[in-house]
Amino acid sequence: MSSFNQIQTACGALGYFDGKTYLKDDDCEDALRILLRCLKYENERKDARLQMLESKIIENDLIPILIHLNSKHDTKIIHHALKLLVNLTKPPLVCFDGKLPKDVTLTNVYLKIEGHLQKTKTNLANEKLFDFLVNKVQPVLDTNWLDRSDEDDFILHAVFTVVRNILSIKSERQISEESDINAHDLVLWSIHKSNMENLILFCGNKAQGDERIMNILEIIVLMLREQSAEELAYTGEQQTKNQREKNNE
């Protein structure tokens, strides 16, 4: 079976969202394994990645799987789905080993990957998705690092990498002409509402000397990248003013 047909078959064997919950197929776990393997051995044209992004697997399958499947029997499926989400949201530059491709064909591939991720960013700005991420990582953070398992380390790495990847996607445009809100704003709102921002700050304070500190710093920089210096200064000034007024009461 060709790689194209293999991916097409695997995507069709995941299951489907019926409007209320995700109904997994009996072969869901095996299908996720196949898709991960295809990405592991993808060619320089990133055909496998493009095919999966074009099939809208992130919004149609991966997000619903992570939000709706919470049985202990689904642990491996959730693990593979999270791993696949980490891979598919990877910045285009990382896909090309940190170098912009010089070849015209590969440059077009780069732009296609970037375009697909931009269109998907609004779907990724899903508060329930961030609730899932928080619920996965919170118990790990509550566990003494000496007692953490390899699975715990995977969760920490995967969750914060997904958050970084989502934030790194450039916003395509405003959501509507009537509003100046864009997909990046929606992601920030979901991070706030889900309490993810507090976990990020907690890790930033606790991760000194830890390899995660660079990941956390990246996340914070990406959260602020669409804010002007004037806006940040004004916000800080207002917070200081409000704090002074509160202290004087």
For the stretch 20-70, pLDDT in tens is 999 999 999 999 999 999 999 999 999 999 999 999 999 999 999 999 998
What pTM, to 2 d.p., does this model score?
A: 0.89
Residue 174, strand partner residues: 182
Res 208 pLDDT > 90: no
Q: What percent of the chain has pLDDT over 90?
A: 71
Judged by average pLDDT, the poorest of 36-45, 78-87, 200-209, 236-245 is 236-245
Residue listed under structure tokens 């992130």 = 58
Residue count of the chain: 249
Percentage of the chain exceeding pLDDT 70 = 84
Nearest to 215 by CA among 157, 147, 155: 157
Average pLDDT, integer, range 185-201 = 94
19-23, 133-137, 212-216 — which is least confidently predicted? 212-216
Which tokens sit at 206?
A: 């606790």
**Dist CA 25 CA 94 (whole Å):** 32
